[in-house]
Structure 1
Amino acid sequence: MKKDVMDFGTVTPRIEIFLEYDGKKVADSDAAELLRAIKEKGSILSASHSLGIPYSKAWEILSRIERISGRKVVETRRGGRSGGGAHLTAFGDRLLAVYMKAKMDLEKRTVMAERHSESVFIAYSNDPLFAMVVDRLAGEENVESISPGSGMALAMLTLNEADVACCHLYDAESGEYNIPFLEKFWLLDRVVRLGGFERELVFAFRRDSGIAGLEDGIRKILEGKLRFAARNLGSGTRELARSLFERYARTFGIREASIRGLEYECRTHEDVAYRIANGDADAGILLRYVAEKYGLQAYHLRWERYECFALRDCLYKNGVKKLQELLNSRWFVGMIEFLPGYRLVEGENQ
């Protein structure tokens, strides 16, 4: 039998991200995958099984990180009636976040470098429903996407680094969504609205947290008694939280708020819900759909407008045309009617 030989025409170059401290590799992709798995599984043994690596190898990776950094990365508890387990320390959480941000930045630059002229690049604010739209679109068209937040999505559109941007930015002065920000980014005459929907934002917390209501929860966050799960800078939800806290601080007469949790940024609504449900945070602002998915108690904040805009120069692309069709399709209307916390924009998709 003829032995297979490598064909250089099928060789794929790969770039490895790793974090270095004092000239030594403190975390690489293996370490990041292990930390993420421990965070999700709550157990080093379960994490090693899910990754298909020996338990001893997992401890070897963790020991190397702790030896080089001089910091504890995982806290473990012995088995008992409730069973043993493990969770990341604050340092472990931060290390994982720094690695994932570096990875995302590299992936974004790689995607931008490899973009084909006929592919469609979509920058959007995190949303579960729109992620389903992107997945459906990617099954038919050449699509690249990134979810950096509303503000960054519009910035990428301004710099022609994206063909489509989807956002939900509220302007308190005008009481409008998105349009005032298109003006600020000099985009109003350069874009066409493809479609959109409305989604419900809620203040959510664990049912056993002792929060009596919306005002009680916000007051306790402002006083530093509860830990807040914050979205990433540049996201519309982060901006809403800032505005909400400022307004309630004036109402309560709190001059200097002591908000805990702002140092850790959640990149998605799922991340916010997970931190609350897992006990790493006490409350947060997120979508009703996600809050209900995680069984959280929720108080209505507002309905907000989520809209997609495409550069006029990119309207000829099949992917852009198809996206507009999807946002106005029966399938899309059906998804909105099925998912809690979503509704159609009045007068559209009728």
Structure 2
Amino acid sequence: MSAIMSEKSKAEPASNVVNSLRALRMAKGLSQGQLADGALITRQAVCAIEADQYLPTTAVALRLASVLGCHVEDIFSLKTTGELIEGDWVWGGLPVSAVQPRTRVKVAKVEDRFVVRPVAALGEILNYTVPADGLIIGKVGSGPRSAKSDRRVLVRLLRERQIVEREIAVAGCDPAINLASEYLHRHKDTYTVVGWSMGSAAALEALKRREVHMAGLHILDAKTGESNLPYLRRHLQGDDYIVVTFAAWEEGLLVRAGNPKRIRAVDDLLRPNVVLVNREEGAAARMLLDQRLEALGADRTHVKGYGVTVSSHFEVARHIAEGHGDVGIGVRSAAQIFGLDFVPLQQARYDLVLPKRYLSSHPGLSHLLDAIASRQFRTEVEALGGYDMTETGKVRSLRVG
């Protein structure tokens, strides 16, 4: 027994410990001397610890954590608990300066950098069902000596880095993309998909900023009646993009069950007793509404509730179902989920766009496109209602000719 106890009580080899002291010190903008003074040790001791020449005592580790404003396990952790990485905070709902330590985050590698978003941004339900990839440790360059003002954060991974690097980030407003993650996982179990809810214009801008691998949009051109391609031709330079159809769906007016206010067309939104639940600027639903109001020669300020916006089709439907409005622009599937009536206005195509080079640099993207084109996936999405998957997987020509 004594032999077993002595074996188990041996000090952990330094090779088994992830040492993040130097990264955390630099993130705070501290010199080795400043850290040493605060922790009541010598600068040479700090230098030796950072060089993995020895592990500090418990008391010294606690003082180092106190100076750095973090937990001891943020500085020293076993390699099995995940490594420390730097990434770009890309969620506009919260400035990086307000990000709290230990915030649960999703991490995706887009080209040569990691992008970081909070799990909570997925919504109140997915926040409790989607596992985090890591926890925020702090902001890079937050110390008084740092001249950095970017959005870099330190993240302690909760999963293996190789798995995190296989994650696919998709921006758009169709939640059905999250179903594709399950189909992808069945055949390629090391890849996952995370869908970030954004309007069409915002999704495309996120793609151009290299914050996601793929963007979804459904913008019908008022002049030509063509979906997405005219908009993409105006906003994308070059031909280094591939456009693949996800689905066609019906867009229209979401109204309360039974349609008690007899809303039949966009001009009914001008009635003083009708309250709109609007989408944010840049959303395709907002563009459709503005086009119809402009065609009527109507002043949008006369639409009650025009300035009150939400960020997804589901949020529009939820607000109407809860009695916070009478009508909104959205898709039939959202109306069906919340038990609302639906007045169709048009059919539009929802396309996915991604840089061609990503297909070779991230093999999971090809697997994802195969998954959404599969018969099983198309059958299940059509069962949601309001989807036409006839052309799913069809590649569109971005450039004329």
After TM superposition, the score normalised by the length of structure 2 is: 0.55
Is 1:230 paired with 2:275? no
Correspondence for 1:246 among 285, 294, 301: 294
Is 1:336 paired with 2:381? yes
Is 1:167 paired with 2:217? yes
Give the counterpart letter for 2:282 in structure 1. Answer: G
Identity of aligned residues (%): 25
Correspondence for 1:122 among 169, 174, 180: 169
Cα-to-partner distance string for 1:184-235 (whole Å, 9 max, x where unaligned): 12246011124421011121211355322413xx334224421111122221
Correspondence for 1:221 among 262, 266, 269: 269
1:128 and 1:186, CA in 2 relative to 1: closer, same or farther beyond 3 A?
Answer: closer
1:160 and 1:207, CA in 2 relative to 1: closer, same or farther beyond 3 A?
Answer: closer
SS in 1 for 2:342: strand
Distance in structure 2 (CA, Å) of the matches to 1:293 and 1:333? 19
Give the counterpart letter for 2:170 in structure 1. Answer: A
1:133 corresponding residue in structure 2: 180
2:65 corresponding residue in structure 1: none
Correspondence for 1:183 among 230, 233, 247: 233
| CA drift at 1:344 | 2.0
2:97 corresponding residue in structure 1: none
Correspondence for 1:290 among 311, 330, 334: 334
Distance in structure 2 (CA, Å) of the matches to 1:163 and 1:112? 20
Higher share of residues assigned helix: 1
Instruction: Structure 2: state its 5+ residue gaps.
Output: 10-57, 59-71, 95-102, 105-119, 126-150, 395-401
Give the counterpart letter for 2:311 in structure 1. Answer: R
Distance in structure 2 (CA, Å) of the matches to 1:112 and 1:298? 44
1:304 corresponding residue in structure 2: 348
1:187 and 1:256, CA in 2 relative to 1: closer, same or farther beyond 3 A?
Answer: closer
Is 1:192 paired with 2:242? yes
1:131 and 1:145, CA in 2 relative to 1: closer, same or farther beyond 3 A?
Answer: closer
Instruction: Structure 1: state its 5+ residue gaps.
Output: 20-27, 41-107
Cα-to-partner distance string for 1:59-88 (whole Å, 9 max, x where unaligned): xxxxxxxxxxxxxxxxxxxxxxxxxxxxxx
Give the counterpart letter for 2:286 in structure 1. Answer: R
SS in 2 for 1:214: coil
Correspondence for 1:212 among 234, 256, 262: 262
1:58 corresponding residue in structure 2: none
1:53 corresponding residue in structure 2: none
| Contact kept? 1:195, 1:327, Cα under 8 Å | no
1:213 and 1:147, CA in 2 relative to 1: closer, same or farther beyond 3 A?
Answer: closer
Distance in structure 1 (CA, Å) of the matches to 2:156 and 2:254? 39
Listed as ranges, the matches of 1:139-150 within 5 Å are: 140-150=190-200
- Of residues 126-135 and 286-295 in structure 1, the stretch that sits farther from structure 2 once superposed is 126-135
Give the counterpart letter for 1:235 in structure 2. Answer: A
Distance in structure 2 (CA, Å) of the matches to 1:284 and 1:193? 28
Distance in structure 2 (CA, Å) of the matches to 1:128 and 1:18? 19
Question: Taking CA–CA contacts closer than 8 Å with sequence separation of 6 or more, which of the two structures ends up with the larger relative contact order?
Answer: 1
Distance in structure 2 (CA, Å) of the matches to 1:341 and 1:320? 26
After TM superposition, the score normalised by the length of structure 1 is: 0.62
Distance in structure 2 (CA, Å) of the matches to 1:147 and 1:294? 18
1:265 corresponding residue in structure 2: 309
Larger radius of gyration between Structure 1 and Structure 2: 2
